[in-house]
Amino acid sequence: MIRELARGYGTAQATKDNVGDPMIKGKANSLAYSIFFYDCQKGANCTSVQFQAAFDIGKKVKIEIINDWNIKKRFAKAERNDKGNGVLRMDYSLNGGATREHIDNAMDMWFMQLKDFAAHIGFRE
């Protein structure tokens, strides 16, 4: 269901991560992102997901810019990876089940945060 909903925002391709759990790689508004599935039982019945994107702006993102994002935003948190790229992450719990509407609301939030973060750090395609 998550891949199906992600396709409503752009491209979404199902794949697997390095431990065999499901993973989605996609693009929305030309912005690449991944969705990682966690606490899975043999690649199914996962209890949480993490939306994630990294942006190379051609130089290290200033830590002040990352901190400014984290102070002002609630749902998705930013960091800088070892290359100095801006990274955005948002966790979502599926524990106990989640309705299509709840997942769609989380995805709306993710894609809004993704677009805002790219602009915040000065990412250009």
Mean pLDDT in consecutive groups of 10 residues from the start of the chain, 125 residues: 90 93 95 95 90 97 98 96 97 89 94 97 89
Backbone angles phi, psi at 12, to 5 degrees: -155, 120
The pLDDT value recorded for residue 96 is: 81
The pLDDT value recorded for residue 12 is: 96
The pLDDT value recorded for residue 124 is: 85
Shortest CA distance to 92 belongs to which of 102, 100, 84, 101? Answer: 102
Give Cα separations from 46 to 12, 20, 50, 51, 89 (angstroms). 18, 12, 11, 14, 18
The pLDDT value recorded for residue 23 is: 96
Domains and CATH numbers, the chain: 2-121 (3.30.1460.10)
Between CA 62 and CA 4 the distance in angstroms is 36
The pLDDT value recorded for residue 11 is: 95
